[in-house]
Amino acid sequence: MTPERKGRIESVLERRQLNLTVVLENVFDPHNISAVMRTCDAVGIQDLYVLNTRIPRHKKWGAKSSSSAAAWLTVRQYDDAPTCFADLRKQFDRVLATQLAADALPLYEIDLTGRIALVFGNEHDGVSEEIRNLTDGNLVIPQVGMIRSLNISVACAVCLYEAYRQKSLAGQYARRQFSPERYRDLFGQWARETPGGDGE
């Protein structure tokens, strides 16, 4: 491993966020998932939750959309919502659904500096009622056009970059969040990856 590659891995790991995640509920297009993965990597998310209660588990992602981002993330797949949310509650204080609802708060009025999980539903139905009942509330991205929804990967990017902005201002990217054990494990895993799929 070159010193440059070692330094890059260390720099990225130092900024990974354990207090922000995305949950994808029954998103069936692997290209949408891989586009979300690319944004997750860009803003420093390590753990991505993929919940499939109505579709089979995904076996691969759309490589062109992700630019191999899946290699740098820990993807946790579930086929049972209670188990998924039990695990989420161990790590995150608030779980918010991105859903157009009467009680939804505008994205830019929400404090995203805490331990936050953001749930995105599938391409046709959004977040299901079952999952909304397990969350702590709804958020909506303000829009002024005729069409009142965005593609899931675009909506995810908008939300995550607002979280990135808030967390950056709060200094959360300036301190390591991994335990020494997990840092070593991920460093070893990333060091074994073939260079070139991570934008180098």
Q: What is the pLDDT of residues 26-45, one digit of tens each?
A: 998 888 999 999 999 999 99
The mean pLDDT value for 117-126 works out to 90
Q: What are 67-84's pLDDT values in tens digits?
A: 478 889 999 999 999 999
Give residue 106's pLDDT: 94
CATH topology of domain 17-177: Alpha/beta knot (3.40.1280)
End-to-end CA distance of the chain: 14
Angle at 198 between CA 196 and CA 9, to 5 degrees: 105
Domain assignments of the chain as residue spans, ordered by start:
17-177
Helix (H) or strand (E) holding 166, with range, is: helix 152-169
Q: With pLDDT > 70 as the criterion, what percentage of the chain qualifies?
A: 90
Query: What is the pLDDT, as a whole number, of residue 195?
Result: 58
Distance CA 197, CA 200 (A): 7
For residue 22, the number of C-alpha atoms closer than 13 Å in the C-beta half-sphere is: 33
